[in-house]
Structure 1
Amino acid sequence: MSFRFIGRIACSLLFISLSQLAWTQSLPAGRWTSLFNGKSLAGWDMYLRQPEGTNQPPYGLNNDPLHVFTVADGAIRASGQLWGGISTWHEYDNYHLRLDVRWGTKKWYPSDSTRRDAGLLYHATGPYSFAYNCWLRSSELQIQEGEIGDFFGVGAGSAEFPMQPVTVRGKVLDQYAFDAPLRRNADAVGSGRVYRSGNFERPHGQWNTVELITRGADAVYIINGYVVNRLFNTYRPAIHQQTTRGKIQLQSEGAEVYYRQIQLRPISYASPQSLSLSADKTTLTDLIPDKPQTVRITNRGDAVELVAVELSGPAGDQFRVKLPPFPRRLKRGETLDLLVMLLSDTPGKSVTATLRLETVLGPVPDLTVTLQSR
């Protein structure tokens, strides 16, 4: 399903088929603004709860005697020793956020025997101790080893996802799938999880680029240039309102993690544009490891800014694309060559995926390329 935007986004969303998608394109988007200066925590507040397994009172707001949040080598270091968060002074709406994330080595009780965990909380509002005595009411872009890009509800309301059931470690859960039926997830703190479409993370110790695009009550999650989750119409029934605005909060949650290059730009909307991109091939067949193939994208309409690709389908993360630096503006008549490869193959088993291109306002309509292994 997809959507029609009017002005700065009406309070309710109209879902229509992809072939009928109406577009507005913002060119250029707003300028990037750094939310972190790389030297100090100016512009941020921190909130910490008590040490795990104790009955001590919370450390509270801007009281950090254990130096859980510090600046190291141009990045915000969250030690993970205490659960808590560091949040922006200001609230934001309709934006494109990007930051780099890298894991450290330390892990703390009770997360010392589990996957390293943290998170990007957005549309975050008070109180500071709302969730688990240390986080703002918010929606979460999960930052966890092997699962960056999952959605969690942290009290900001439920949302509608194109999602389907999937079995993860023996449990049947929901997973984002571009062409799945649109359904609303649960509205509960620590629940309503929706798994990302695939794993596009880099190996432990390397930086991962995490991006979040918010458009009114909608959001898109992008990991290392790949769309991995998409949600619509976040709604808080308790106050009968959509969730569209709030602070940005970064978690400390039992594992050492670093955040750097935290930048944000506003998304604005202009008059409708003629958006027309085409591919020289609609299908790439017989893809095998170490023998990539190229698909050429040509812009036959007005200039467009591309921000990511999406590889959808159960085998989407078994393929990779050699990505250009995003955002990438493609003028009328210009072309973009994308090199597509299969990571690995299984003898006698063919896998497929679908490639799409993403703008800040959603996927490019009427442009799909089917990928198929031998």
Structure 2
Amino acid sequence: MNYLRLSAAGLLALALTFSQHTQATSTAKPPKGKWENLFDGKDLKGWHTYLKAGQPVSDKWTVEDGAIHYAGGRGAGDLVTDKEYGDFELELEWKIAEGANSGIIYHVNEDPKYPATYRTGPEMQVLDNERHPDAKMGKDGNRTAGALYDLQKPVTPNAAKPAGEWNKARLVISNGHAEQYLNGKKTADYPTSGPEWDKMVANSKFKDWEGFGKYPVGHIALQDHGDQVWFRNIRIREL
């Protein structure tokens, strides 16, 4: 009888151990994906103009010395990735001309009912803080380079380098949360949905925009704001 009791106890302990191990394994976060280059430094393969998939990209978007260059002047349209992304880590470098404005926009829903990428996608600002008036607009610097445009004041202000110099940007979107970095300094930290996010939107220029910030998966865009800007060393890994 004692032997049977011990065996039953042993089997129960083994079953509990196996159950706990299985539960821990099933809830563990999957390993991060491998880095994928979004730009090979040679051509615009993997990108298209917003709402113009399959058509030639405007000649205002060119490849120059291993970087994507927007030559300036309105009308070319934003450049967007062919692929859509949900949770990811994005790294790139950008350089802006004097007095210029651009942006890195994510979770863009490419639907004709939205005339521009920024109608749905939040933006990491790209700007010449010293010369462009946007730097002094908005609230508490929330339109300066590296900021979550018009939604949150920079966690670390003045992280950008001057116009004409390369800046390294990093954007991490994971499990409903986002972090933005510029030149190694955190510039934004925020939820991508929920009450706090809704409050941020309600206090911004986007408060009445249908679809803004509502899509957990979408394209990544480089903005045509009519000014010269360069992007290089663009890579991403899905989380």
Q: In the alignment, what sits opposite 2:165?
A: 206
Q: Give the aligned residue type for 1:206.
A: E
Following the alignment from structure 1 to structure 2, what is the Cα–Cα distance between the partners of residues 214 and 134? 18
Matched, 1:94 2:87: yes
CA pair 92-172 structure 1, distance change in 2 beyond 3 A: closer
Following the alignment from structure 1 to structure 2, what is the Cα–Cα distance between the partners of residues 119 and 216? 23
Q: In the alignment, what sits opposite 2:43?
A: 40
Following the alignment from structure 1 to structure 2, what is the Cα–Cα distance between the partners of residues 217 and 242? 12
Report if aligned partners of 1:118, 1:252 keep a CA contact under 8 Å in 2. yes
CA pair 85-172 structure 1, distance change in 2 beyond 3 A: closer
Q: In the alignment, what sits opposite 2:103?
A: 119
Q: In the alignment, what sits opposite 2:33?
A: 30
Aligned to 2:121, what secondary structure does the other structure show?
A: strand
Q: Give the aligned residue type for 1:249.
A: A
Q: Give the aligned residue type for 1:93.
A: G
Report if aligned partners of 2:97, 2:128 keep a CA contact under 8 Å in 1. no
Following the alignment from structure 1 to structure 2, what is the Cα–Cα distance between the partners of residues 82 and 192? 22
Q: Give the aligned residue type for 2:154.
A: R
By how many angstroms is 1:137 displaced?
A: 2.1
CA pair 138-242 structure 1, distance change in 2 beyond 3 A: closer
More strand by share: 1
By how many angstroms is 1:146 displaced?
A: 2.0
Aligned to 2:139, what secondary structure does the other structure show?
A: strand
Q: In the alignment, what sits opposite 2:152?
A: 194
Q: Give the aligned residue type for 2:231.
A: Y
Following the alignment from structure 2 to structure 1, what is the Cα–Cα distance between the partners of residues 138 and 61? 36
Matched, 1:140 2:140: no
Aligned to 2:79, what secondary structure does the other structure show?
A: strand
Pairing partner for 1:173 from 123, 139, 160? 139
Q: Deviations over 1:316-369 (max 9, x none)?
A: xxxxxxxxxxxxxxxxxxxxxxxxxxxxxxxxxxxxxxxxxxxxxxxxxxxxxx
Following the alignment from structure 2 to structure 1, what is the Cα–Cα distance between the partners of residues 96 and 150? 25
Q: In the alignment, what sits opposite 1:234?
A: 193
Q: Deviations over 1:258-294 (max 9, x none)?
A: 1000001122xxxxxxxxxxxxxxxxxxxxxxxxxxx
The unaligned stretches of length 5 or more in structure 1 are 1-6, 8-23, 49-59, 106-114, 148-167, 177-190, 268-374
Matches within 5 A, 1:1-374: 29-47=32-50, 62-64=55-57, 67-83=59-75, 84-104=77-97, 115-127=99-111, 130-131=114-115, 133=116, 137-146=120-129, 169=136, 173=139, 192-197=150-155, 198-234=157-193, 243-267=215-239
Between structure 1 and structure 2, the one with the greater Rg is 2
CA pair 242-253 structure 1, distance change in 2 beyond 3 A: closer
Following the alignment from structure 1 to structure 2, what is the Cα–Cα distance between the partners of residues 245 and 263? 17
By how many angstroms is 1:128 displaced?
A: 5.5
Aligned to 2:193, what secondary structure does the other structure show?
A: strand
Identity value in percent: 27
Matched residue pairs, number? 186
Q: In the alignment, what sits opposite 1:306?
A: none
Q: Give the aligned residue type for 2:168.
A: T
Report if aligned partners of 2:169, 2:183 keep a CA contact under 8 Å in 1. yes
Relative contact order (C-alpha < 8 Å, sep 6+): which is higher?
A: 2
By how many angstroms is 1:254 displaced?
A: 1.7
Task: Using structure 1 for the length normalisation, give the TM-score.
Answer: 0.44
CA RMSD of aligned residues (A): 3.2
